[in-house]
A and B are shown apart, each in its own frame.
Chain A
Amino acid sequence: MSGLATKQPRSARAVREQPMLSTVAALLRKELLVELRTLESVPAMTLFAVATFVVFHFALNRGNVEGDLAAGILWVTLLFAGILGINRLFVADDEQGGFDAFLLAPVDRSAMLFAKVLTLLAYLVALELVAVPAFALLLLAPPLGHALPDLLITLALGDIGVAVVGTLVAALAVRTRARDLLGPLLGLPLLVPVVIGAARASSPLLTVGHTGVPAARWLLTLALYDLVFGLITFALFDFLLED
């Protein structure tokens, strides 16, 4: 009986307001569809990453790298390529009235945050599907085989951090006069802990012989960072969408 009583208002509320999940799904579908049709972000990010590996090859004058150096090159490249995507994340919404349309809809505003974080996450995964094999092929000295599962965990934790902070930074920067400048300027210092955690965690995986496993404290640091900034972004995102 009591279960029925608690269910009643919930279903009444669902009539007025779209449930969160379907809103997020609709927004995510929209984002991915737009990206598939325009191909604005992901191809640019992947091309940028591969070009950066070539630049690193000549800048460092090395045929192959391992250990700390390899982890650093990988994460700096992923971060900078990610920033390209972060810069473009809200531009279409700002220029073509996406924000206004979304604010007119009777949906929870956090839905846009979740959709954007998932979009950015999808971009990053797409980027890494190309960039990590390219890195292994072009620059990495040890074969990637056994280290792959651990590397995937590190990549996933790092990506969540970049996606969460990137979405917040993109939303902060997009409606300013200098958005192309402010995005990276705000994002880079905020993402330093992600680079620290992710690079230190992947460094033993990219060493010749890769006997080491990523130290748990780095994965924990990454997870803690993801959690803290996830909560902060969740709490603050609504304030960026008010007008």
Chain B
Amino acid sequence: MYGKGLRTLSIATVVAFATSLALVFFYAPLEADQGFLQKIFYVHVPLAIVSLCGFLLGGLLAIQHLRTRDPRWDMRSYVIIHTSLIFAIGTLITGSIWAKGSWGHWWVWSEPTLVSFLIVFLLYATYQPLRFAIEDPERQARYASVFAITSGAFVPMNFIAVRLSTAYVHPRVLGGTSNLPGPMALTFVVSVAAMALLFATLCKYELTAKHTRAQMRALRRRLAGEGDSPRRTRSAVPSSHAHGTVTARVAGGARP
């Protein structure tokens, strides 16, 4: 059930990424001011947009988890947040490279988006330590959801505060799509779509992997005999709820 559509999604991602890279290198014109360096914009900004949306989505899924108490929502929230965290690292690295290229410094405090991103990244970096410091799976899911909602609301607040705090803002040549010339805007939109597809594929892969692992463990336990006490490993904690449901499903399926 988790693996359904994974192949289509993967192929769509590869095609979209190939298209977007082709557009970036062969179609989009060179920017007059920054030249070739500006091409990193087609990686950096989509990464940032997708990871921010992922953080917000993780918060929304966490709300859904607290409302329904269905551990699957928590698992989705967990996977999305942690993939977003990886994308956020990518954003910080590409942003840093861009800053070095265009302003000569690896880090500029006067660029509010980059600074906000660092703060958001630092906050979300504590998501996993918090999660894995709680043993009880139900409480772990609940606390993680509370964290995800708080941080999801923190993201826009933080952007406002940091943007206000920067006395002057660098001229934003490439703010939104509205002030971009046509070919650049098209390339940008395709890049964002490709990045979003990549994000979705990665999340789906991880969810499928977690689901399969839980299923494997349940089956193995059944082979070893039901009497064995369930073992809980540290890395598999989020999937241990799913694993309860899977055991139930397998046991239910076996009955005539």
A residues bordering B, Cβ < 8 Å? Answer: 168, 172-173, 175-179, 181-182, 185-186, 188-190, 192-193, 196-197, 200, 217-218, 221, 224-225, 228-229, 232-233, 236, 239-240, 242-243
Contacts and interface: CB of A to CB of B under 8 A. Distances in A.
B150 A178 contact: no
A220 B161 CA distance: 10
Interface residues of B, number: 31
Nearest to B134: A176
A225 B161 contact: yes
A9 B166 CA distance: 54
B213 interface: no
B139 A243 contact: yes
A55 B123 CA distance: 27
B149 interface: yes
Chain B interface, >50% SS class: helix
B119 A189 contact: yes
B133 A196 contact: no
Chain A interface, >50% SS class: helix
5 contacts: A168-B146, A168-B150, A196-B161, A221-B164, A243-B136
B153 A176 contact: no
A178 B132 CA distance: 10
A239 B146 contact: yes
Nearest to B158: A193
A225 B157 contact: yes
A196 B150 contact: no
B8 interface: no
Chain B CB within 10 Å — which of A182, A186, A193 has the most?
A193
Interface in B116-141: 119-120, 122-123, 126, 129-130, 133-136, 138-139
A232 B153 contact: yes
A175 B134 contact: yes
Given A192-B158, A239-B146, 6 more contacts: A168-B146, A178-B133, A192-B161, A218-B164, A229-B157, A232-B149
Contact of A217 (B139, B145, B157, B164): B164
Nearest to B162: A196
Contacts of A172: 130, 143, 146-147
A237 to B, nearest CB: 8
Chain B CB within 10 Å — which of A179, A189, A228, A243 has the most?
A189
Given A192-B161, A228-B153, A240-B146, A182 B130 contact: yes
Given A172-B143, A189-B122, A232 B150 contact: yes
B66 A182 contact: no
Contacts of B130: 172-173, 176, 182, 186
B126 A239 contact: no
B154 interface: yes
Nearest to A185: B126
B122 A176 contact: no
A146 B242 CA distance: 62
Contacts of A175: 134, 139, 143
Nearest to B160: A221
B142 interface: yes
Given A178-B133, A228-B153, A236-B149, A242 B142 contact: yes
B164 A186 contact: no
A210 B192 CA distance: 49
